[in-house]
Amino acid sequence: MDKKNNPRHMVLVLFVFLFLKAHTCLGADSISANQSISGDQTIESAGGVFVLGFFKPGNSSNSYYIGIWYKEISEHTIVWVANRERPISDRFSSGLRISDGNLVLFNESKIPIWSTNIVNSISSYSVQAVLQDNGNFVLKDGSNSPRILWQSFEHPTNTWLPGCKFGYNNMTKTNQRLVSWKNSEDPSPGLYTLELDTSSSTYKILWNRSKNYWNSGPWNGRIFDTVPEMNSNPIFEFTYITNINESYFIYYVKGNSTKYPRAVMDVSGQLKQLNWLPTKQWNAFWSQPRQQCEVPYFCGAYGICNEMSLPFCNCLMGFEPKLKSFWDLEDYSHGCQRKTKLNCENINDTGNGKRDKFLEMSSMSLPEAQQYVTAGSEAVCKAICLNNCSCTAYAFDSNKCLIWVGELLNLKQFSAGESKGEILYVRLAASELRSSRKSNGRVIGAVVGGASGLAVLLGLIILVILRQRKKIFSPGKAVVEGSLVAFDYRYLQIATNNFSEKLGRGGFGSVFKGKLNDSTVIAVKQLESVSQGEKQFRTEVSTLGTIQHVNLVRLHGFCSQGSKKLLVYDYMPNGSLDSHIFETKNSKVLNWETRYRIALGTARGLRYLHEECRECIIHCDVKPDNVLLDAEFCPKVADFGLAKLVGRDFSRVLTSMRGTRGYLAPEWISGVAITAKADVYSFGMMLFEFVSGRRNSKYYVNGDVSFFPTWAASIIIGGGDVFSLLDPRLEGNADPEELIRVCRVACWCVQREETQRPSMGQIVQILEGILNVNLPPLPRSFPVFVDNSDPEYILFTESSSSRSILSQETVMSTATS
């Protein structure tokens, strides 16, 4: 798998390298009394979905396990492991067979190391173990037809497959658990566990079986409280059952909406729901907690978690991974250790000028387990920490002195642009600070407490300030490749008056207004989640710089200094389209002619992105907020091409979904690959808003909330009065031909089947009046997400009668021809 295109955090498959040459299939789906599985032998479920046999995770180890995996999936993905804690090393002299009515795995010395462990008195000859097409491995009493003695679904490892009841069995008093693997190459039980808390009907994720860091919230009869996205789930059917015998949740796939879905308690500490894409990748379309850094202790002691970096974990400066081999397997839980011992740990070495120092870390979320001490000033706080050898860090804020004793846990760093977090001073050996002065943070010399120390400290601070000032007054900027300007960060800081005038906030960061020396007004975007390396970032920026079109916002330059990544754009005096098209207190009504011109210009900008750039760029977030207007109300599409720039593939994960609800095409949810037609869909939704002057979801017909596109379609198809659709503020002033054209194109764009939607090129031609085609038959229904102004959103499916898990309150009329 190509790591660059599939950042690890995305797919997070328990990626198993199987080095078994051609498995020999027993040609059966079961193991009966006379058979055993050993060596390369496997059994296969009747429909050829799952395979069971020995596998070896990872390259180097010689540890084999009995497991179940998907037959068709090229990346061997293990969904169940029998002997997860006790691997065997020679699979040819080991075997899985039925013994005394149980399924037993014997190791090389014929010693049983794993068993189904049921007590029964059934003769082994009648017992049979069958691998089913749903992934369940079932031990049955073959003679008396369907008596199930044991099944793997009752003993899941880290994977929860559709059709598996997962919860609590009150008859056997067993609580099932999904337990993560230790790391991607070790199936033994890891730190993260999902289980049901029966007392509150809530699923919980625990760290080390103790610390609870995610809750599903109680089952409210329909969904779990903290998982509103279940409301509109087009992929699964599910239910939670609780009675005197058992409590469990179970889910099934609706129709063929997705292939090979599975829920996994992942090594990342996140519960993930994945499916298999036609592009032959696993797609994690849901995960909880959403942010990696919300998983406690994920980076271990002295590790810093940062959502913006890949990998997520890094050691604090002056520290290195304790166990490098685990770190490389993305198991960071062992944390980091000092490269150089602290001075105070060396009893010999006292007071020869090499006392420990403190590294200043800004934008930090402070670690766990702080202690409050009384100190009137930062200098005193520092002295207290410095004079106590077990103090590893301090922070001083609003006259409060916090110190940490022992390992620092749960360190998180925000991105520089977020202006969040606090300053933490971490104790390091003096030599560490000297050797890595440039790389990270500002270094403050540690000074022996007392007045003399304070004086020196003051001197230092003044020195630092002077140096910074010097920089401030000589801002530099330099021209680089192509037409782009590489800006110095300080220069932009001054140009934006220290980022004081915020213009808005988009998917990738906040935008500030600024002014260059030559009085050119600019818009500066502070990128928030850049995980690209310097070189790659510059490459992507210069690519973006070559994308120039009258209907696209022009990139003027950029700044890339360490973690500070900014983009400088032309400033658009008329702001974004949403502030003009939707009614606000002081907005002037845009006349029809302007609206039409904006629609056409936007379409041309998108056509350029889709069809005329070297690589097709899918915008993924087309909406009025991302169409900016220059002084002449000429539209300029903004915010394109950034997903690649920040180095994360946003297009795949529902939880960090790039698009905006209300404009999202249905394929975003079903998990198939996104094409340019997703932009076409969003553009269509926007066209409806050009007509009505209101958000699609906020449309009222006779007092009922209606979904405007559906209602508009019924008028258009039924030959009704199109002027009734028009923004009443226009008082009927619109070109009827153009109005009909826009409405029809909009309907054409929002069809469920992406192949039936037009291309942006066709749309431009129709709007230009060149392509006078008879539009194909208009869709009968509109599957769309509607932002119903509450956290729950709604999916409109095929027809109003078959709406599945929809909000009951919403009135919807489905257009029919």
Three-class SS of 177-241 = EEEEEEECCEEEEEEEEEEEECCCCEEEEEECCCEEEEECCCECCCCECCCHHHHHCCCEEEEEE
Is 397 among the catalytic positions? Answer: no
Contact window for ligand NAG (CB under 6 A) among 269-277, 310-318, 385-393, 428-436: 385-393
Decide whether 145 or 256 has the Cβ nearer to ligand NAG.
256
Decide whether 163 or 761 has the Cβ nearer to ligand NAG.
163
Q: Write the interaction track for ligand NAG spanning residues 63-102; mark x where CB under 6 A is met and - where it is not.
A: ----------------------------------------
Decide whether 206 or 223 has the Cβ nearer to ligand NAG.
206
Q: Is 226 in the site for ligand NAG (CB under 6 A)?
A: no
Residue of 15, 3, 566, 76 whose CA lies nearest to 311: 3
Report d(CA 754, CA 54) in Å as an integer: 42
C-beta contacts of 437-440 below 8 A and 24+ residues apart: 439/317, 440/317, 440/359
Q: Is 256 in the site for ligand NAG (CB under 6 A)?
A: yes
Report d(CA 736, CA 754) in Å as an integer: 28
User: What minimum distance in Å lies between the beta carbon of 333 and ligand NAG?
Assistant: 6
Report d(CA 48, CA 27) in Å as an integer: 10
> Which of 123, 245, 724, 733 contacts ligand NAG by CB under 6 A?
245
Measured CA distances, 395 to 402, 404, 440, 576 (Å)? 5, 9, 18, 42
With a CB cutoff of 8 Å and minimum separation 6, the contacts of 379 are 447, 449, 453, 454, 457
Q: What DSSP line would sit under 453-518, residue for residue?
A: HHHHHHHHHHHHHHHHHHHHHS--EEE-STT-EEEPHHHHHHHTTTTTSEEEEETTEEEEEEE-TT
Chain positions 206 to 225 lying near ligand NAG, rule: CB under 6 A, are: 208
Contact window for ligand NAG (CB under 6 A) among 273-281, 346-354, 410-418, 550-558: 346-354
User: What minimum distance in Å lies between the beta carbon of 207 and ligand NAG?
Assistant: 8
Report d(CA 654, CA 8) in Å as an integer: 16
Residue of 655, 551, 651, 535 whose CA lies nearest to 598: 551
Q: Is 146 in the site for ligand NAG (CB under 6 A)?
A: no
Decide whether 201 or 510 has the Cβ nearer to ligand NAG.
201
Q: Is 32 in the site for ligand NAG (CB under 6 A)?
A: yes
Q: Is 34 in the site for ligand NAG (CB under 6 A)?
A: yes
- Longest C-alpha distance within the chain, in Å? 94
Number of residues engaging ligand NAG in binding (CB under 6 A): 26
**Set 621, 639, 649, 679: catalytic member:** 621
Q: Within its chain, how far is the Cα of 576 from the centroid?
A: 27
Report d(CA 795, CA 688) in Å as an integer: 18
Q: Within its chain, how far is the Cα of 29 from the centroid?
A: 38
Q: Is 802 in the site for ligand NAG (CB under 6 A)?
A: no
Residue of 815, 758, 750 whose CA lies nearest to 785: 750
Q: Is 348 in the site for ligand NAG (CB under 6 A)?
A: yes
Contact window for ligand NAG (CB under 6 A) among 241-249, 306-314, 488-496, 687-695: 241-249
Is there a binding annotation on residue 110?
no
Cis peptide before 87 (omega within 30 of 0): no
Contact window for ligand NAG (CB under 6 A) among 65-73, 103-111, 578-586, 723-731: 103-111
Instruction: Say if residues 300 and 335 touch (Cβ distance below 8 Å).
Output: yes
Contact window for ligand NAG (CB under 6 A) among 105-113, 479-487, 532-540, 702-710: 105-113
Neighbours of 491 (CB within 10 A): 20
Q: Within its chain, how far is the Cα of 771 from the centroid?
A: 41
Chain positions 180 to 209 lying near ligand NAG, rule: CB under 6 A, are: 198, 208
> Which of 174, 346, 377, 452 contacts ligand NAG by CB under 6 A?
346
Surface-to-core class of residue 718, CB atoms within 10 Å of its CB (0-12 exposed, 13-18 middle, 19+ buried): exposed
The residues with which 69 forms a beta bridge, in sequence order, are: 51, 78
User: What minimum distance in Å lies between the beta carbon of 106 and ligand NAG?
Assistant: 8
User: What minimum distance in Å lies between the beta carbon of 559 and ligand NAG?
Assistant: 35
User: What minimum distance in Å lies between the beta carbon of 572 and ligand NAG?
Assistant: 47
Report d(CA 298, CA 207) in Å as an integer: 10
Contact window for ligand NAG (CB under 6 A) among 238-246, 392-400, 495-503, 505-513: 238-246
Report d(CA 276, CA 289) in Å as an integer: 21
- SS3 at position 373: strand
Report d(CA 186, CA 31) in Å as an integer: 26
Q: Write the interaction track for ligand NAG spanning residues 389-408; mark x where CB under 6 A is met and - where it is not.
A: -xx-------------x---
Q: Is 113 in the site for ligand NAG (CB under 6 A)?
A: yes
User: What minimum distance in Å lies between the beta carbon of 737 and ligand NAG?
Assistant: 41
User: What minimum distance in Å lies between the beta carbon of 349 and ligand NAG?
Assistant: 6
Q: Is 59 in the site for ligand NAG (CB under 6 A)?
A: yes
Q: Is 799 in the site for ligand NAG (CB under 6 A)?
A: no
User: What minimum distance in Å lies between the beta carbon of 347 and ligand NAG?
Assistant: 7
> Which of 388, 670, 675, 800 contacts ligand NAG by CB under 6 A?
388
| DSSP-derived pairing of the beta strands 485-487 and 555-561 | parallel
> Which of 145, 243, 755, 808 contacts ligand NAG by CB under 6 A?
243
Decide whether 348 or 802 has the Cβ nearer to ligand NAG.
348
Report d(CA 301, CA 94) in Å as an integer: 40
Decide whether 346 or 789 has the Cβ nearer to ligand NAG.
346
Report d(CA 539, CA 139) in Å as an integer: 57
Decide whether 108 or 570 has the Cβ nearer to ligand NAG.
108
Residue 209's Cβ-side half-sphere holds a number of Cα atoms within 13 Å equal to 6
Decide whether 168 or 782 has the Cβ nearer to ligand NAG.
168
Q: Is 323 in the site for ligand NAG (CB under 6 A)?
A: no
User: What minimum distance in Å lies between the beta carbon of 584 and ligand NAG?
Assistant: 46
Decide whether 151 or 198 has the Cβ nearer to ligand NAG.
198
Q: What token pair was written down for 294?
A: 């919300």
> Which of 108, 237, 360, 578 contacts ligand NAG by CB under 6 A?
108
User: What minimum distance in Å lies between the beta carbon of 733 and ligand NAG?
Assistant: 48
Residue owning tokens 């070109």 = 735
Residue ranges of the annotated binding site are 525
Residue ranges of the annotated binding site for ATP are 525
Where along the sequence are the contacts to ligand NAG (CB under 6 A)? 17, 32-34, 59, 107-109, 111, 113, 170, 198, 208, 243-245, 255-256, 346, 348-349, 371, 388, 390-391, 405
Residues classed as catalytic:
621
